[in-house]
C-alpha cells in the first residue's frame, strides 16, 4: 500500500536540480510546476522551508559518497528521497535498494545508459546521460549541416521513445547543459525533447544562468519564466503521457541493438518526421504491431521462433519487413557512451538506405513539410478519438508555414502552444486525407485533432 | 584558344551585332510586402510591357531554389537569402496572368528529389495554394526528372559548344512559348556570380546528370546533386543522353561549369530575365559556403536578354562584366557571360546595353571583391 502511494506521488514530481541553499530562493518556484528539487547538499532550514511549500527534496549522491551514512540519516533529516546519480558499483546499488524502501523513502537511480535495467521496477526510470538538445553547432558557431542537407539535430528522443515503450514507469532524463552560457531556446528545446515523448527533463541551469537567476536579474527571470511556462504546458496535459505512439511504421529494437544510444536508426527515421512506433523486442506482440505497414527488425537474429512467426504473419498480410544484415551484432554500449560511434553509424548505413528507400513519400501516419530543424511525435488517445502531433523547434527562430498531411478524417484541429491561446486551424481535404497549415511555431506546439468516428 | 572557341567566335553564333542590345531595367523595391506588385509592374513597363511577350502564351518560369530547403542561413526564410522569394514569384505570376498568359508553369530541378514540385515548395514554406491561384492556369513541374511528362527532350547546343553537343531535359523546357529565368542576385563559389544565366544550370535533371543517375537509363528517383558529372566530370551522364565531346578535356569546375551554363542558355534561350536583388546574401550561393552575409540591396533587375541583364547586374554588384579569370569575381572560373557571348546569346558590353529606370550608379550595391 505504501509502495503504491509512493509510486503515485513520485509520478507527479516535476524535478529540477537546485543549488541555492537560501530558503528565499524557493520563491523562484512560485507559479512553476516544479515540485521536486534534486540537491547535492541541503540545510535543515532549507528543508523546512521546502516542506512548508509542499516541495519534495531529494538528496543526490554520487558514487564517491558515503552511502551507508546517508542511508542511516536520510529519514531523520526530512528528505523526501535519495537519488543515486552515476556509475555506482553493483553492490552499492543493491545495498541502497534493500535499505531505502524500508524507510518509506523512494530511491531514484540515474545510472549511465549502459547500466539501465528495464526489468527492474523503480519509482522512476532515468539516466543522467543525455545529449544537450538542439542543432549541432560547428566550431565556427554556425549550424552543422551537410552542404545541401538538413541540420544535424542533437536529441534524446530515440532513447526516450525506447524507454517509454519498454516500461510503464515515469521517465526522467537528467542531462546537464554545457558549462558555458546557454541560450534560452536551448533550455526550451531540452524541456520539449523529453516532454514530447512523455518523459521529464530534470531542469538544470548552467552556472551563469543560475547565478543571474539567484540575483534576480531581469533577463534571467524572464528566461526562467519562459522555461516554467513550457514545463507547465506539458504538465497541464498529463493525459498525453498515456497516449500511444501512432503510425504505420514499427521498429523492433532493444538495448543490444542500439536503442540506448543516440543517432541510431530511430533518430534517423524521426528526423524525417515519419511517425514511428518503437517496439522493444521483449514486448513484441500482435497488438504492438497492429496496423503496421512497414516493420523494421534491427537485429533479426535476436528474435525467437514465435517472434519470427508473428512477423511472417504480418508480411503475409501485406506489411513490408526490413531486417538488419544477417549476422550483424551491435557492440554493447560502454559506460561513457551515449551516441553511436562511427563504426555503429556505418553498420546502420545498409539498413538505413533500405528503410529510406522504402519510406519514400508514403504517408505512414503524417507527412510534414518545412520542418527541418524540428522534431515531431504523433500520439493517439487510448479510445482513438484524438491525435496529438507534437512539434519541437530546435532552431533559434520561429518556424513559419508548416504544412501537415494526415490520412483519415477529422472534425477539428487546434494548435496549442505555451503561453499562447489555442488556435483553430482549417482542415483542407486533399487526396491523402487532410492538409493543415500552421502559420508559426515558436519553440514547441501540439496539434490536437479530433477524429471523425 | 581552342579550335572550338575559335569557331564560336568566327561562326554564325558569334554575337557581333552592332548597336544597342536588348534593354535592361532596374527598379527599387523596398521589400517583399507592400509595393512589390507595383515594383514588378514598373520593371515590366520599363521593358515595354509584358503583354506583347506573353499574351495567349505558355510561360515557363525557371525559379532559383538552390540546394536543400533544410539549409537555412541564420534562420532566415529561404527567399530572403539564397532562393528567389515566393512573394516575388507570386507577383510575377500574377503579372503574367494579367498580361494574358494562357498558362504559367513554375519549374525547377528540385534538390535531390524527383517528387512533385508542390511538395518541395511546401518544404520551403511556400504558399503553394496561393501561388496556384495567382494566375488563371498555374502549373508546377519538378524538372529534376521526367516528372509529369512522357519523355525527355533533347536540346542541341550551337556550333562552338565545348562540353556537350546536346542536353536531355524535362519536356517542360520545350513545351513553352516564353522561357523566363527568375534568378537571385548572388555570388557563386565556383562561377563568381549566379544570376539569370547560371540559373539555367538547374534546368538539367539529376535523373540523367546527377551523381546517382542511372548508367544506362535515367534514375527517376534522384537523391543527389550533379557535381560528379558536371563540376568534375568524374562520370558521364546516363548513356541514354549525349556524352561529352572530349572526355580528356579539363576537369576543372572553373572551366566546365561556366561552359555548361553557356551551352544550356544557348540550347534553351531565355526570353525574359528577372533578378531578385531585394534581399539576398553576398559571398556565395548558399549557407554551405563560409563567409555569407545577409544584405538588402532593394533592387529588381530585368531584361529581355540574359547576358545583357547579367552584365548590368554585375555592374550593380560593383564588378566588371567583362572581367577575366583571376580577377573579381571570377577568382576560380572563366567568365560565364563572355562564354555565353561567344555562343551568340547576347552582349556583356555595357556600352551596348540600354539601362532603363535606375542607372547603374544609382543602383550600385557593392558585393565583395
Subunit contact A400:B77, Cβ cutoff 8 A: yes
User: Residue range B109-134: average pLDDT?
Assistant: 96
pLDDT at A211: 96
- Provide φ and ψ at B168, rounded to 5°: -95, 125
Domains of chain A by residue range? 2-236, 247-359, 367-451
Confidence of residue A4 (pLDDT cuts 50, 70, 90): low
pLDDT tens digits, one per residue of A200-248:
999 999 999 999 999 999 999 999 999 999 999 999 999 999 999 999 9
Contacts of A396 in chain B (CB under 8 A): 75
Pick the CATH number of A367-451 from 3.40.640.10, 1.10.8.80, 3.90.470.20, 2.60.40.1180: 2.60.40.1180
Burial (Cβ within 10 Å: 0-12, 13-18, ≥19) of residue A317: exposed
Give the position of cell 576543372. B252
Residue B194 has pLDDT above 90, yes or no: yes
User: Which three cell numbers, joined as nine digits, stand for A51?
Assistant: 516542506
Please confirm whether the linkage preceding B329 is cis (ω < 30° from 0): yes
User: Which residues between 124 and 183 in chain A have a beta carbon less than 8 angstroms from any beta carbon of chain B?
Assistant: 140, 142-143, 145-151
Burial (Cβ within 10 Å: 0-12, 13-18, ≥19) of residue A211: middle
Strand order in the sheet with A171-173: A125-127, A171-173, A200-201
In the beta sheet, which residues pair with residue A83?
A: A60, A108
User: Which three cell numbers, joined as nine digits, stand for B38?
Assistant: 507595383
pLDDT tens digits, one per residue of B251-265:
999 999 999 999 999
Q: How far is A353 from chain B (nearest CA, A)?
A: 12
Query: A247-359 and A367-451: same fold?
Result: no
Helix (H) or strand (E) holding A195: helix A184-195
Task: Give the span between the Cα atoms of B281 and B292, in whole angstroms.
Answer: 6
Residue B100 has pLDDT above 50, yes or no: yes
Measuring CA to CA, which residue among A158, A155, A358 is closest to residue A248? A358
Q: What is the dihedral of CA B8, B13, B18, B24, to 10 degrees?
A: -110
Contact at 8 Å (CB) between B238 and B319?
no
pLDDT at B17: 43
Task: Give the span between the Cα atoms of A225 and A237, in whole angstroms.
Answer: 19
Domains of chain B by residue range? 3-363
Contact at 8 Å (CB) between A447 and A389?
yes
Cα angle B183, B186, B190 (rounded to 5 degrees) comes to: 105
Confidence of residue B292 (pLDDT cuts 50, 70, 90): very high
Subunit contact A148:B288, Cβ cutoff 8 A: yes
Residues sharing a CB contact under 8 Å with residue A336, sequence separation 6 or more, in sequence order: A112
Confidence of residue B19 (pLDDT cuts 50, 70, 90): very low
Residue B64 has pLDDT above 80, yes or no: yes
pLDDT tens digits, one per residue of A139-176:
455 554 443 456 789 999 999 999 999 999 999 999 99
pTM equals 0.91
In the beta sheet, which residues pair with residue A39?
A: A59
Confidence of residue A1 (pLDDT cuts 50, 70, 90): low
Subunit contact A361:B115, Cβ cutoff 8 A: yes
Interface probe with B: pick from A145, A149, A354, A369, most Cβ of B within 10 Å: A369
Residues sharing a CB contact under 8 Å with residue A66, sequence separation 6 or more, in sequence order: none
pLDDT at B15: 37
Subunit contact B125:A402, Cβ cutoff 8 A: yes
Confidence of residue A327 (pLDDT cuts 50, 70, 90): low
Contact at 8 Å (CB) between B336 and B266?
no
Closest residue in B to A142 (Cα–Cα): B74
Within 13 Å of residue B37, how many CA atoms lie on the same side as its CB? Answer: 10
Helix (H) or strand (E) holding A441: strand A433-441
Residue A316 has pLDDT above 90, yes or no: yes
Residue A138 has pLDDT above 70, yes or no: no
> Is CATH 1.10.10.10 the right assignment for the domain spanning A2-236?
no
* Fold adopted by A247-359: Rossmann fold (3.40.50)
Measuring CA to CA, which residue among B160, B117, B161, B149 is closest to residue B264? B161
User: Residue range A369-384: average pLDDT?
Assistant: 96
Task: Give the span between the Cα atoms of A241 and A235, in whole angstroms.
Answer: 10
Amino acid at each position: 500500500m505504501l509502495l503504491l502511494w509512493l509510486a503515485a506521488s513520485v509520478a507527479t514530481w516535476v524535478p529540477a536540480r537546485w543549488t541555492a541553499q537560501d530558503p528565499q530562493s524557493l520563491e523562484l518556484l512560485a507559479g512553476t510546476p516544479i515540485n521536486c528539487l534534486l540537491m547535492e547538499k541541503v540545510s535543515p532550514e532549507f528543508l523546512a522551508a521546502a516542506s512548508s511549500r509542499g516541495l519534495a527534496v531529494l538528496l543526490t549522491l554520487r558514487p564517491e559518497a558515503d552511502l551507508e551514512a546517508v542511508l542511516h540519516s536520510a529519514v531523520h533529516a526530512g528528505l523526501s528521497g535519495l537519488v543515486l546519480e552515476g556509475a555506482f558499483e553493483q553492490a552499492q546499488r543493491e545495498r541502497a535498494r534493500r535499505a531505502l524502501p524500508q524507510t518509506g523513502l523512494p530511491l531514484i537511480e540515474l545510472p549511465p545508459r549502459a547500466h539501465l535495467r528495464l526489468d527492474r521496477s523503480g519509482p522512476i526510470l532515468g539516466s543522467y546521460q543525455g545529449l544537450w538538445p538542439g542543432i549541432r553547432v560547428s566550431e565556427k558557431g554556425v549550424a552543422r549541416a551537410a552542404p545541401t542537407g538538413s541540420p544535424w539535430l542533437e536529441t534524446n528522443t530515440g532513447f526516450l521513445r525506447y524507454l517509454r515503450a519498454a516500461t510503464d514507469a515515469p521517465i526522467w532524463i537528467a542531462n546537464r547543459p554545457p558549462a558555458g552560457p546557454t541560450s534560452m531556446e536551448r533550455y526550451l528545446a531540452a524541456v520539449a525533447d523529453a516532454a514530447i515523448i512523455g518523459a521529464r527533463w530534470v531542469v538544470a541551469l548552467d552556472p551563469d544562468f543560475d547565478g543571474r537567476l539567484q540575483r534576480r536579474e531581469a533577463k534571467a527571470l524572464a528566461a526562467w519564466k519562459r522555461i516554467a511556462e513550457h514545463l507547465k504546458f506539458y504538465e497541464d496535459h498529463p493525459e498525453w503521457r498515456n497516449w500511444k505512439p501512432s503510425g504505420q511504421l514499427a521498429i523492433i529494437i532493444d538495448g543490444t541493438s542500439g536503442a540506448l544510444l543516440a543517432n541510431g536508426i530511430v533518430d534517423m527515421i524521426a528526423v524525417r518526421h515519419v511517425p514511428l512506433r518503437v517496439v522493444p523486442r521483449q514486448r513484441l506482440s500482435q497488438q504492438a504491431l497492429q496496423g503496421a505497414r512497414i516493420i523494421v527488425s534491427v537485429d533479426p537474429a535476436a528474435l525467437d521462433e514465435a517472434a519470427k512467426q508473428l512477423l511472417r504473419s504480418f508480411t503475409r498480410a501485406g506489411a513490408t519487413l526490413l531486417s538488419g544484415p544477417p549476422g550483424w551484432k551491435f557492440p554493447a554500449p560502454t559506460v561513457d557512451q551515449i551516441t553511436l560511434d562511427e563504426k555503429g553509424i556505418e553498420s546502420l548505413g545498409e539498413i538505413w538506405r533500405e528503410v529510406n528507400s522504402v519510406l519514400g513519400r508514403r504517408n505512414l501516419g503524417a507527412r510534414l513539410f518545412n520542418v527541418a530543424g524540428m522534431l515531431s511525435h504523433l500520439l493517439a488517445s487510448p479510445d482513438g478519438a484524438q491525435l496529438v502531433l507534437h512539434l519541437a523547434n530546435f532552431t533559434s527562430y520561429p518556424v513559419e508555414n508548416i504544412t501537415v498531411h494526415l490520412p483519415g478524417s477529422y472534425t477539428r484541429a487546434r494548435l496549442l502552444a505555451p503561453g499562447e491561446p489555442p488556435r483553430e486551424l482549417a482542415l483542407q481535404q486533399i487526396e491523402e486525407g487532410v492538409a493543415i497549415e500552421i502559420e508559426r511555431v515558436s519553440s514547441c506546439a501540439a496539434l490536437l485533432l479530433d477524429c471523425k468516428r | 584558344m581552342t579550335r572550338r572557341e575559335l569557331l564560336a567566335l568566327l561562326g554564325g553564333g558569334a554575337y557581333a551585332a552592332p548597336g544597342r542590345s536588348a534593354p535592361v531595367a532596374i527598379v527599387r523595391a523596398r521589400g517583399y510586402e507592400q509595393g512589390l506588385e507595383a515594383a514588378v509592374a514598373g520593371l515590366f513597363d520599363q521593358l515595354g510591357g509584358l503583354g506583347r511577350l506573353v499574351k495567349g502564351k505558355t510561360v515557363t518560369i525557371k525559379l532559383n531554389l538552390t540546394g536543400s530547403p533544410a539549409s537555412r542561413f541564420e534562420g532566415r526564410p529561404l527567399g530572403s537569402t539564397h532562393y528567389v522569394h515566393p512573394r516575388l514569384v507570386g507577383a510575377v505570376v500574377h503579372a503574367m496572368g494579367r498580361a494574358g498568359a494562357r498558362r504559367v508553369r513554375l519549374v525547377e530541378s528540385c534538390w535531390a528529389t524527383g517528387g512533385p514540385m508542390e511538395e518541395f515548395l511546401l518544404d520551403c514554406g511556400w504558399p503553394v495554394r496561393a501561388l496556384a491561384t495567382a494566375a488563371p492556369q498555374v502549373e508546377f513541374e519538378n524538372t529534376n526528372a521526367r516528372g509529369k511528362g512522357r519523355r525527355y527532350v533533347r536540346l542541341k547546343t550551337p556550333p562552338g559548344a565545348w562540353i556537350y553537343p546536346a542536353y536531355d531535359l524535362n519536356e517542360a523546357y520545350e513545351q513553352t512559348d516564353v522561357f523566363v529565368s527568375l534568378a537571385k542576385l548572388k555570388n557563386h563559389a565556383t562561377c563568381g556570380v549566379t544570376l539569370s544565366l547560371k540559373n539555367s544550370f538547374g534546368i538539367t535533371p539529376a535523373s540523367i546528370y546527377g551523381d546517382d543517375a542511372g548508367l544506362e537509363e535515367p534514375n527517376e528517383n534522384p537523391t543527389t546533386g550533379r557535381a560528379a558529372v558536371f563540376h568534375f566530370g568524374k562520370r558521364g551522364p546516363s548513356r541514354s543522353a549525349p556524352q561529352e565531346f572530349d572526355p580528356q578535356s579539363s576537369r576543372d569546375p572553373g572551366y566546365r561549369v561556366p561552359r555548361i551554363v553557356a551551352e544550356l542558355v544557348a540550347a534553351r534561350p531565355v526570353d525574359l530575365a528577372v533578378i531578385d536583388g531585394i534581399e539576398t546574401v553576398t559571398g556565395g550561393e548558399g549557407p554551405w559556403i563560409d563567409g555569407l552575409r545577409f544584405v538588402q540591396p532593394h533592387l529588381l533587375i530585368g531584361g529581355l536578354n540574359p547576358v545583357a541583364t547579367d552584365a548590368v547586374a554585375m555592374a550593380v554588384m560593383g564588378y566588371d562584366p567583362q572581367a577575366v579569370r583571376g580577377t573579381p569575381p571570377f577568382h576560380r572560373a572563366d567568365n560565364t557571360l563572355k562564354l555565353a557571348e561567344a555562343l551568340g546569346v547576347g552582349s556583356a558590353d555595357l556600352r551596348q546595353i540600354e539601362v532603363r529606370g535606375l542607372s547603374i550608379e544609382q543602383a550600385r550595391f557593392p558585393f565583395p571583391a
